[in-house]
Amino acid sequence: MKYLILFVLFASFSSILYGFYIQEEEVLLGSKCIGFGTVGIFLVAMPLFLIKYSRGKKMKDYMLSEENIRKMREERSENPENQ
């Protein structure tokens, strides 16, 4: 999975750079390459990255709820040197 993400990122950045390189001669093809590279980064690589590195984690731990606010306040009052 890691290598797939790296391959998609490399291909997307290459497509974007190639699009900027040929945009002077062929505007339409250059714009398409830039667009496909952007789609590759944000609609393919980023979700794959998030799926890989967030597997097994609880979303409840990262949400700002009343329970988590109380925990943060308790930890802050226990460690006065951080204030």
Could you give the CA distance from residue 13 to residue 5 in angstroms, rounded to a whole number?
12
Q: 59: domain range?
A: 2-82
- Count Cβ atoms within 10 A of the Cβ of residue 41 and give its class: 0-12 exposed, 13-18 middle, 19 or more buried: middle
Write out pLDDT tens, residues 45-81: 999 999 998 888 887 777 888 888 888 888 777 776 6
**Contact (CB, 8 A) for 34 and 16:** yes
End-to-end distance of the chain based on CA atoms, in angstroms? 42
How many separate domains does the chain show? 1
- Does the global pTM surpass 0.85? no
pLDDT at residue 16 above 60?
yes
Phi, psi of 26 (to 5 degrees): -125, 95
Average pLDDT of the chain, as a whole number: 89
Q: What is the pLDDT of residue 81?
A: 64
At 83, which helix (H) or strand (E)? none
